[in-house]
């Protein structure tokens, strides 16, 4: 009985190690992903990486002359948040596909 238990335990450890390895591979792949996102009017364009880090910010030429500068920060923040939400959606699809789990999608 002890031998069977030890075999089962060794199998469980191998499965756990494999899952950890796969999770690390997925995390590495996700961090390499990029999302390019534009505001609805293309005034602000951002690129973020898989960790949500802002890599690039472009503001359309002339926007500062015609817009209220005090609203620009809010507009940029909303665009970045939208890009991060898109990245989270894409990451959820990858994780769902790899592990066969549903990560919060409405049923």
**What would the pLDDT profile of 69-80 be if each residue is shown by its tens digit?**
777 888 889 999
Residues 6+ apart with CB under 8 A from 56: 45, 46, 47
Token representation of residue 5: 């238990």
The structure's pTM equals: 0.68
Neighbour tally for 44: CB within 10 Å = 23
Structural domains in the chain, CATH included, are 33-99 (3.30.1310.10)
pLDDT at 30 over 60: yes
pLDDT at 27 over 80: yes
Q: What pLDDT is recorded for position 103?
A: 59
Query: CB of 92 within 8 A of CB of 105?
Result: yes
Q: Please state, in angstroms and rounded to a whole number, the distance separating the CA atoms of residues 60 and 7.
A: 63
Query: CB of 74 within 8 A of CB of 16?
Result: no
Token representation of residue 23: 């999770």
């Amino acid at each position: 009985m002890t031998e069977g238990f030890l075999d089962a335990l060794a199998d469980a450890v191998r499965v756990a190690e494999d899952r950890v390895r796969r999770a690390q591979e997925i995390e590495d792949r996700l961090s390499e992903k990029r999302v390019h996102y534009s505001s609805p009017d293309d005034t602000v364009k951002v690129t973020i990486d898989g960790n949500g880090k802002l890599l690039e910010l472009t503001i359309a030429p002339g926007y500062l002359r015609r817009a209220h500068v005090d609203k620009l920060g809010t507009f940029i923040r909303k665009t970045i948040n939208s890009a991060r939400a898109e990245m989270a959606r894409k990451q959820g699809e990858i994780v769902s596909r790899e592990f066969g789990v549903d990560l919060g999608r409405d049923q």
